[in-house]
Amino acid sequence: MRLGAFPRAIFLLALTAFFFHGCAGRTKPIQPTPPEKPITAPPATAPPPVSAPAAPAKPPEISAADKLFSQGMAALAEGEQERALERFSEAWKEKPGHAGVSREFDGALIALKKSGDASFTQGKSEEAGKRWMGTLRYIQHPAANGKAYPFTRNEVKAKVDRLSASLMEKALTEYRRGGVESAIADWKTILSYDPSHEEAARSLRTAVKQLETLKKMPLGK
């Protein structure tokens, strides 16, 4: 071996050792890979509760006064003026100052009086008496406006009095002639529209007793 080659070999060995030592110092240790977390599905969420369909809104409740007023209007449309006035009066009692009653009351009362006049003209004494008495009963109602009427209370009362006097005279004439049953019918007519008519009630009681006596009598006597 040559003497000059020895130092060069040593130099190469030293260089190689230095190279490997330096690389080893700079190399980072391999870190273990952390285990992967298992992929989990998101928690199941319950579906939102299904709300029940909203109940339909209730219509506003009709008051007792309005119901009575509606019944009165229905009666008026059927030509039943007195029944209409009766319902109007009940509605007014439930709600004093009811606007519908204030608007319709006078017209119904005027129609009732005219209906009585028409019945009298047709010879229907009982109907005439009842409708005139109904007029007298309602003409002083708080909902009535007397100034709007083409008649007064006294005028209507005079009609009733004349009718009753005429029927009383007719009944007495028939009674004296022996027409007891006809007389009874006339007195009953008066009491049908004027139950407080004392003379008619007294005459009726007498005639009914006489008729019962006649029926008990044996025939041929």
pLDDT at 162 over 90: yes
> Span 169-186, mean pLDDT?
95
In the chain, what are the domain boundaries?
63-151, 152-221
> Span 174-189, mean pLDDT?
95
Distance CA 131, CA 139 (A): 12
State the pTM of this model: 0.70
User: Would you say 108 and 77 are in contact if contact means Cβ atoms under 8 Å apart?
Assistant: no
Q: Does domain 152-221 have CATH number 1.25.40?
A: yes
> Span 50-75, mean pLDDT?
84
pLDDT recorded at residue 77: 96
Closest by CA to 152, choosing from 164, 143, 139, is: 139
DSSP 144: -
> Span 30-46, mean pLDDT?
58
Distance CA 107, CA 85 (A): 10
DSSP 146: G
pLDDT at 176 over 60: yes
Distance CA 210, CA 189 (A): 19
**195 versus 6: which is more confidently predicted?**
195
